[in-house]
Structure 1
Amino acid sequence: MVDETQSEEPLKVAPDEGRRDFLKSLATVPLLGAMAYGIYKKVNRERVRRNVSDVFKLEGYSPQILPIQRDGKKLRLGMIGFGIRGKLLLRSCGFAEPEYIEKLKEEARLNSKDTRYEMFCNQEDLNIEIAAVCDIFDTHAEAAMRAAANGSKEGANGRLGKLPKRYRNYLDLLSDPDIDAVIIATPDHWHGTMAIEAARRGKHVYLEKPMTWTVPETYAVRDAVRESGIVFQLGHQGRQTDSYVRAKEIIDKGYLGPVNLIEVCTNRNDPNGAWVYDIDASANSQTIDWSQFVPDERRLKEYYAYMKANKLERFMGPDPYEKFSLERFFRWRCWWDYSTGLSGDLLTHEYDAINQIMEVGIPYSATSSGGIYYFKDGRTVPDVLQTAFEFPDKNLTLLYSATQASSRQRGKVIMGHDASMELGNTLTIKVDSDSTRYKKKIEEGIIQPDVPFYNYIPGSDDVDAITSATELYFAQRGLLYTYVNGQRYNTTYLHIREWLECIRQGLIPSCNIDRAFEEAMTAHMGTRAYLEGRTMYWDKEKEEIVRG
């Protein structure tokens, strides 16, 4: 068979009655939100086996980028948390430590295919100022200040601009009248509390996933956001992945047929991928304010009450809050005392992708199993986890499987009666040998079942800036880079940009509070099913997780 690039017709839309009104109307679309603006004709590396346009034809939907309002307000941001993810978020905003710039320059000099420095320099200015930073570790706070003052993207020999304010307590930053919005990138157990306090003070919020550490906080965050009217975006940058938008169109057109089973997986096989992060040599009890790392008394009691009521003390490490521990501070994801485990850290990415593509919402039930099978290092969260989510109203099961001790690549696979779709940064469809939709084409020899029938590779498949197994993991899932109109973008940059322009233009972000609520409750159902060893159900009318 000969591969032929499919021709496309431009999408026809109603006459524009004003760009702003058009954007506001699109903001109500569940999947695309503000990023739906400017659906355009685009052919990347997109191939269909022969001409089958009578049974398979796409319009070519892909996210376009909202223009930055240069005449709009320069937003003043506060950054809370400058650890691993915090650094990446601030860099996605266009601010990086001078030493990081030097590193990019050097690596670009040594490797002509390493375009990270070029891409960072070409990243469009977001019209923001990092006015304040907050971190309880002095070394991180000082690095955040240098990055925030480096808006000109200078290296070690450059001159920094005005240093931002440095706060040691997040409440002080949130009370600062000079702050319009905040990016929160702290450990999981602070997400909900900080988001609530920010909303109460009228600060727009970009919150790293997962939304919350506990179930009660999930309702409280949603209430606070709704009551305040702030613009809220949860940090699922997959919402800006081009191949996910294309997958949405394929599903909506019914080209896979009825979908009854989906498998999503997360495999990693290195200490960093299992959260055994390096411990900074400058860290000690004098440079870290441990008292602000532990939860407040109310949430501490809430956590203990749940664990003890369900006889789950075995998951609580000894003296999890009172004793200073560098290991716990840097590797907090390994303990339930601060973490949401595999469900909150990795499942949420996979679930949000499926929710974006298929709008599945909160599952009817969740059943989990797994354990600590490889990393016998004192952690309390599992390093192997399986969860089955049931959606009987959609005739669908979503299976999640993860291990932190194998790097065998497994993508998202959406299995339909007529075809299956494997999804990551790229998209591949194979027609089922027993398909009803494609039966005639199979009999005529036009379609060969169980081999790639349709391939979509946005922009380029040459990943040139992968420096670790963890980066490769995210790149393969479309969570590091994406391509829009042939140009490569950092997905987090696009996600933050969407949030900022929604603030300026009064729009609704793609991962808004309603999508965030669905994400949080789904992850909590999976976690509680694992901890309690029983199936958890969602009472849709009462909006409650109930035990089986």
Structure 2
Amino acid sequence: MSSRRGFLGTVMAGAALAGGASAAVGAAGKGRIIGANDRIRFGLIGAGSRGKEILKPAVDSPNVECVALADVYSGRFPDAQKIAPGAKTYQDYRKLLEDPSIDAVLIATPQHLHARHFVDAIAAGKDVYQEKTMAFDADHARRMRNALDGSGRVVQVGLQWNSSGGVQKVREHVKSGELGTISMLETHHFRQTPYGGWTREIPTGFDRSQVDWEAFQGDAKRVPFDADRYFNWRFYWDYSGGNVFENMVHIAAFWFASLDLSIPQSVTSLGGNYQSPKMSPPDAFTVTMKHPENLLFSFTSMFNNGFYGEGRNTLFGSKGTLVHTLADNMTVVPAKGKLDETALAGKVHNPTDVHMRNFFDCVRTRSEPTSPFELGFRTAVACRMAVEAYRRGTTVHWDPATETII
């Protein structure tokens, strides 16, 4: 691979670990050697809605066992234990990582905590399934890379749509030359659901003492306890990148892998919060990324109209146009041709189960998973650039020499 392809070799020596892993965690070693027929023991860090969603296909994977659950909110344990009966529970995730019998962890915590949990898990010798968006910002991404470098750990990023088989199909179309020279990609994520479907009600009988508020805040600014900030963390910039981090990252990962795209040179983002007053991130916006591969990549999102659905993408070439949907159906029409919508009909299947099995297979074989760390790095930086462009109200640029957004 090019500059990004050898990117693990660009790690700066002596970088410090994020989050201050405890001595006990750091001393946990490099993990046991797992045989082809050995049962993989894993733990889950973050037992909220997404955590339970990935826990289900994980426990259904062959020859694996969930033995521990960690979450700063103890009220989540009963529901999670229905999926993984008998699993031990911890409010302090570091206690989970201290167990030398645990081979791997799934991390599904809020986005601002990913680096802290990832770095400590790698230091503890665990393989990691890391939910998207992999890193909250470029600094977190570098810390995570520095921790991973030389560790020998297997990392699968939760960009599950790359396990659908569509990446290879797009590659074949592009390689055949039927699209000609490609210069533009338009993608969409339209959802007719207030607040994107993210609103969480404070549970009946909720008790403040059930949450380790200090641990939840992680590296974010310190504020007094606020139940809404905890349960609706996606509404706050301190913990979330909005729909850029929730869904644009999936579309970016699919096309970054399909077209072998680098981190964009520059990113512009415009939009607003027009119908979601409780939320800081925008509910309608457009991101435009200029890539060094001579490609203009746009992403448009809104929460109050479902016209395009959650994954209608169009790749424009000088000879032909490729249209792709979330159902992983695609068709190519001549550059001046018209689209036959029937060619795109199909049922959407979320491939999280396939993605999870790929992770556990790679834990056994020590192979590179479908969505490796470097793809997570590129897409996390691109998504952070989109957030920064929106919040600053200007075009931002990537400086590859310093690996910073300017």
Q: TM-score, normalised by structure 2?
A: 0.86
Structure 1 residues 454, 360: CA separation in 2 closer, same or farther (over 3 Å shift)?
Answer: farther
Pair 1:91 & 2:56 matched: yes
Give, in angstroms, the shift of residue 454 of structure 1.
9.9
**Superposed counterparts of 1:301-340, under 5 Å:** 321-340=222-241
In 2, Cα distance between equivalents of 1:70 and 1:232: 18
- 1:283-327 deviation line (CA, Å, top 9, x unaligned): 3313333232212xxx23xxx6xxxxxxxxxxxxxxxx4333332
In 2, Cα distance between equivalents of 1:512 and 1:240: 12
In 2, Cα distance between equivalents of 1:343 and 1:456: 25
Is residue 184–residue 194 contact of structure 1 (8 Å, CA) maintained in 2? yes
Is residue 430–residue 454 contact of structure 1 (8 Å, CA) maintained in 2? no
- Is the deviation greater in 242-251 or in 396-405? 242-251
Is residue 429–residue 455 contact of structure 1 (8 Å, CA) maintained in 2? no
Letter in 2 for 1:427: M
Match of 1:395 among 289, 294, 309: 294
Structure 1 residues 222, 456: CA separation in 2 closer, same or farther (over 3 Å shift)?
Answer: same
- 1:454-489 deviation line (CA, Å, top 9, x unaligned): 9477xxx3x4xxxxxxxxxxx4xxxxx2xxxxxxxx
Is residue 129–residue 158 contact of structure 2 (8 Å, CA) maintained in 1? yes
Structure 1 residues 453, 275: CA separation in 2 closer, same or farther (over 3 Å shift)?
Answer: closer
In 2, Cα distance between equivalents of 1:456 and 1:70: 43
In 1, Cα distance between equivalents of 2:203 and 2:330: 39
Aligned residues: 370
The secondary structure found in structure 2 opposite 1:387 is: strand
The secondary structure found in structure 1 opposite 2:244 is: helix
Pair 1:409 & 2:308 matched: yes
Q: Whose radius of gyration is greater, 1 or 2?
A: 1
**Superposed counterparts of 1:434-449, under 5 Å:** 449=337
Letter in 2 for 1:322: V
In 1, Cα distance between equivalents of 2:391 and 2:96: 36
Pair 1:75 & 2:75 matched: no
In 2, Cα distance between equivalents of 1:222 and 1:532: 26
Letter in 2 for 1:503: V
In 1, Cα distance between equivalents of 2:111 and 2:341: 41
Letter in 2 for 1:254: G
**Superposed counterparts of 1:427-466, under 5 Å:** 427-433=330-336, 449-452=337-340, 455=343, 461=346, 463=347
Q: Which runs of no fewer than 5 residues in structure 1 stay unpaired?
A: 1-29, 31-68, 96-124, 150-162, 305-320, 434-448, 464-474, 476-480, 482-489
Structure 1 residues 145, 453: CA separation in 2 closer, same or farther (over 3 Å shift)?
Answer: closer
Give, in angstroms, the shift of residue 253 of structure 1.
1.6
Give, in angstroms, the shift of residue 518 of structure 1.
0.4
In 2, Cα distance between equivalents of 1:511 and 1:451: 31
Letter in 2 for 1:89: I
In 1, Cα distance between equivalents of 2:244 and 2:92: 29
Is residue 243–residue 456 contact of structure 1 (8 Å, CA) maintained in 2? no
Q: Which runs of no fewer than 5 residues in structure 2 stay unpaired?
A: 6-33
Give, in angstroms, the shift of residue 274 of structure 1.
4.5
Number of the residue aligned with 1:174: 97
**Superposed counterparts of 1:154-303, under 5 Å:** 163-271=86-194, 273-295=196-218, 299-300=219-220
Runs of 4+ displaced beyond 6 Å: none
In 2, Cα distance between equivalents of 1:282 and 1:208: 29
Is residue 277–residue 331 contact of structure 1 (8 Å, CA) maintained in 2? yes
| Two-structure CA RMSD over aligned residues (Å) | 2.1
- Is the deviation greater in 342-351 or in 283-292? 283-292
Give, in angstroms, the shift of residue 453 of structure 1.
10
Pair 1:375 & 2:276 matched: yes
Number of the residue aligned with 1:386: 286
Is residue 268–residue 407 contact of structure 1 (8 Å, CA) maintained in 2? yes
**Superposed counterparts of 1:78-157, under 5 Å:** 78-94=43-59, 125-149=61-85
In 2, Cα distance between equivalents of 1:421 and 1:207: 31
Give, in angstroms, the shift of residue 137 of structure 1.
2.0
The secondary structure found in structure 2 opposite 1:327 is: helix
The secondary structure found in structure 1 opposite 2:316 is: strand
The secondary structure found in structure 2 opposite 1:293 is: helix
Is residue 284–residue 326 contact of structure 1 (8 Å, CA) maintained in 2? no
The secondary structure found in structure 2 opposite 1:93 is: helix
In 2, Cα distance between equivalents of 1:365 and 1:451: 31
The secondary structure found in structure 2 opposite 1:209 is: coil
Is residue 134–residue 380 contact of structure 2 (8 Å, CA) maintained in 1? yes
Q: TM-score, normalised by structure 1?
A: 0.64
- 1:259-291 deviation line (CA, Å, top 9, x unaligned): 111111111121362422333224331333323
In 2, Cα distance between equivalents of 1:326 and 1:343: 24
